[in-house]
Amino acid sequence: MEEKNAADGSEQVVIFEEKITKVNGEVAIKRYQRGKFLGKGGFAKCYEATNLETKKVLAAKIIAKSSLTKNRARQKLISEIKIHKSLQNTNIVQFEHVFEDHENVYILLELCSNQTLNELIKRRKRLTEIEVQCYVAQIINALKYLHASNVIHRDLKLGNLFLNKSMELKLGDFGLATKLEFEGEKKRTICGTPNYIAPEVLDGKVGHSFEVDVWSLGVIIYAMLIGKPPFETPDVKTTYRKIRLNSYTFPEHVLISDAAKNLITRILNLDPVKRPTLDEIMSHPFMNTGGSIPKTLPLSTLACPPSAS
Ligand code: ADP
């Protein structure tokens, strides 16, 4: 990565380059200009990046190689790239390209310029049922594709649900995803994000499968309607205890429909085999209100609820 000062010396222009050596030995160079800072993850810093040849604007996840000294971190990144690269769906952040230089690994992704549902809920406090139905339909579309590809996401949460400039929902961050290699395979690694983690993941002995994503979807639906996740407490241990006991309530001051409560209650079942399937969620009365669910929501809903028309 090269940092240059602009002609007037005011602003810093950062360019990163991909060197491609062809079979005949010639070297082709693709240049990207780093733009706005988008956010920071565990290992990565994410920026807007413009391909200077095509002018296409993407999101670049930049991971310093110096942060990948532990074998585990390297393996995790390799697995994230391998899984994400293989996926293509309207509701999954499109993986565009990956390359490296001596300093960094660069992952180029479809840009989601309207942030995540986490920022949306912080701004709006909670969403209306029609908005939740619209987002749930898109999450289920992504999950049906993912599960049909034998991939479990394992870290579904508001912060991993991105919105692009057209307000399409895109599931991202495959850092904890796993691909099952045979029918009925169970995973035992304890992973996920405390508030969203399924009870069978906490009990590492029993093993877990696709149903953990359904559990997290239940937590997401609750959080979108109520404004905070159902098992949230000030400390992780208490949150885990509440998850194991399935201890949550619907606050009286927030009005939500019986259909919404019924769907959440069915999904947040301690027994993974008793949870509804993705198809069953789509045909549940909450998702089948008679009125049609919009494919996307207007940009105005980033700040205010949609008008009830
Ligand atoms: P994590 O450590 O949670 O996996 P990431 O490294 O994936 O986080 O991303 C860090 C931050 O970068 C995100 O929280 C988000 O703000 C931003 N980001 C990641 N991917 C995109 C994208 N495709 N479009 C826009 N912003 C993104």
The per-residue pLDDT for range 96-133, each reduced to its tens digit, is 999 999 999 999 999 999 999 999 999 999 999 999 99
In angstroms and rounded to an integer, the radius of gyration of the C-alpha atoms of the chain is 21
Between CA 172 and CA 95 the distance in angstroms is: 9
- Distance, CA 190 to ligand 1 centroid (Å)? 22
Strand 2-5 to strand 44-51: parallel, antiparallel, or no bridges (unpaired)? unpaired
Which residues approach ligand 1 with their CB closer than 6 A?
38-42, 44, 46, 59, 61, 93, 109-112, 162, 172-173, 175
Alpha-carbon distances of 236 from 107, 161, 202, 241, 243, rounded to whole Å? 31, 22, 12, 9, 10
The pLDDT score that the predictor gives to residue 294 is 96
Q: Are 174 and 80 in contact (CB under 8 A)?
A: yes
The pLDDT score that the predictor gives to residue 55 is 97
Q: Look up the pTM and report it.
A: 0.94
Among protein residues, the one whose CA lies closest to atom 8 of ligand 1: 41
Tokens of 72: 């585990």
For residue 212, report the phi and psi dihedrals to the nearest 5 degrees.
-65, -30
Tokens of 234: 């000030």
Give catalytic residue positions: 155
Between CA 198 and CA 110 the distance in angstroms is: 29
Residue among 161, 158, 183, 147 at smallest CA distance from 279: 147
Q: Are 74 and 27 in contact (CB under 8 A)?
A: no
Among protein residues, the one whose CA lies closest to atom 25 of ligand 1: 112
What is the arithmetic mean of pLDDT over 250-279?
97
| Statement: residue 308 has pLDDT above 80 | no
List the beta bridge partners of residue 59: 48, 109
| Statement: residue 289 has pLDDT above 90 | no
What is the arithmetic mean of pLDDT over 154-181?
96
The pLDDT score that the predictor gives to residue 10 is 56
| Statement: residue 165 has pLDDT above 60 | yes
- Distance, CA 194 to ligand 1 centroid (Å)? 19
The response to whether 261 counts as a known ligand-binding position is no
What is the 3 state secondary structure string of the chain? CEEEECCCCCCEEEEEEEEEECCCCCEEEEEEEEEEEEEECCCEEEEEEEECCCCCEEEEEEEEHHHCCCHHHHHHHHHHHHHHHCCCCCCECCEEEEEECCCEEEEEECCCCCCEHHHHHHHHCCCCHHHHHHHHHHHHHHHHHHHHCCEECCCCCHHHEEECCCCCEEECCCCCCEECCCCCCCECCCCCCHHHCCHHHHCCCCCECCHHHHHHHHHHHHHHHHCCCCCCCCCHHHHHHHHHHCCCCCCCCCCCCHHHHHHHHHHCCCCHHHCCCHHHHHCCHHHCCCCCCCCCCCHHHHCCCCCCC
